[in-house]
Each structure stands twice: as structure tokens, then as C-alpha cells.
Structure 1
Amino acid sequence: MQQETRMRLLEAATAVRENAYVPYSRFKVGAAIRAASGAIYAGCNVENVAYPEGTCAEAGAIAAMVAAGETRIEEVLVIADSPLPVTPCGGCRQKIAEFAAPGVKVTMTTLEGNARSLTVAELLPGVFTQAHMERA
């Protein structure tokens, strides 16, 4: 089941990556997340000439999940055409952490299949949470 789910994530991220709007960097990224329900949501990066007003693939996938009424991430996969697996940017790490438990796996892969998996906690140690805003 886990391998089947990973393949579904890979297929969704790979397909949506082709829709990326990247006229400036030409660096297409696709992301897919599995929500608590088992549904898969995908997103691609969308650039804007007024940097940094673009949207990352991970943020797009999270927005699709939330728009569908879900708020729990169970797994993430990110794919890009790079020699090394591309990690989510700092902002996306924080966005993922908002909806995922620290042990949720984030797999980063290249088009050639070079993959690396880390947990949310490994990607973002010292995550900022709602607890930081609470007063005793």
C-alpha cells in the first residue's frame, strides 16, 4: 500500500509539474500531498515577474487540499528537474508543518529518480507553532 501511494504521489506531482508557469527561471516543480482522507492534491510553481510574488508547488498543493475542506497532510512528494533532490523552501517548510505532524515524510525526487526522504521535523527543526503565541 505504501509503495502504491508513493507511486500515486509521484504520478500526480510529475503530471502537474508540466503545467508549471515558469517563464523566468524555466525551473518547473511539481508537488503532491496525501491528505488524511487519502485524497491526493497537487500543485505546481507559478512565477510572477514581480518576484517574490510567485507561488511554490507545495503551497499550491496545500491550497488545493484546504479548498477541498481538508487540513491534515499525511505525506508529501516534490519533483524537479535537478541533479539533486530539491527541498521545499523555508516558507513551504513552515506551511507543510502547519498541516503535518513532525514525523510526516517529505520525499524529494528528481526526474531521473534520485530521491531523498526526510521528516517534517528534520526539514524544519525548531518549527514556529501556535504555542509560541500563547501566553501563560
Structure 2
Amino acid sequence: ALLDDLQALFPEMNEEMMMDIAMSIQRGEVTRQEVVDSLTEMQVIEAVQQESEKVAEVECTIYVTHVGGIRKVRDDCRRLKYLFDALKIRYNEIDIAENKWLRAKITKASGEDSLPLVFVKETFVGTYDHLERW
């Protein structure tokens, strides 16, 4: 019923993404209303499409925030980008601060609740603190 409801509201969304969102709701990672709000604003669809297109071009993806009250998180996001730029590492930058569904998915995949998060392809590599220790 949830899947049918989401498909009726957002018929343009592909089935795989719809199933993933429905599972996230069922697991309690996000509420139905949070998903509907995100989808209505097209944040999730655009973010996932952009991520898919970029991942095809570049293997490294960093999940960051440009919004946030925690200074360390903002500073770590900025430092990570500077580090990658200095080392000439090509990366995709995805801001997940205001996209609760994508943030829940990435947090679950990484096991980390703090940003920035670094992935190579689908594999979580670490946070800024992890990479700084290398």
C-alpha cells in the first residue's frame, strides 16, 4: 500500500528508487511525510540523478554539508575539499544536509553520523578525521 501510494504521488520515479524509499520508511529511518516533502521539492530525485551521473565519471564521492551549526563539521568539509583539490583528486561533492532520506541512506551505509563522508564507488572510505590520520 505504501509503495502504491508513493507511485501514485510520484509516477516519474523509477521502481528501484521507490522500493528503496519505501524500505527506508518501513525501517523507520524517515517518515512518510519527510519523504513526501523531499520528493515534492524534487531534492531526492535531483540528488540521486546527479549522483548517478557523476559517479559514472568519477569514482570518489564526498558527502558534505553547506548548512550546519557545528563548526567542526563545516571546517572538516572545507578542509577535505582543500585536501582533495591540493592532491588533484577528482571527486563528486554532494550536499546532503537538508535531504533527510539521502542522509539516512548514506549514514547507514557508512555507519557514521558526522560529515564529511568519503566513498570510493560504493565503498565507505572514512571521515575527514580518518583520512587525516593516514
TM-score, structure 1 as length reference: 0.27
With a CA cutoff of 8 Å and minimum separation of 6, indicate the structure with the bigger relative contact order. 2
Structure 1 or 2: more helix by fraction: 2
Structure of larger gyration radius: 2
Structure 1 or 2: more strand by fraction: 1
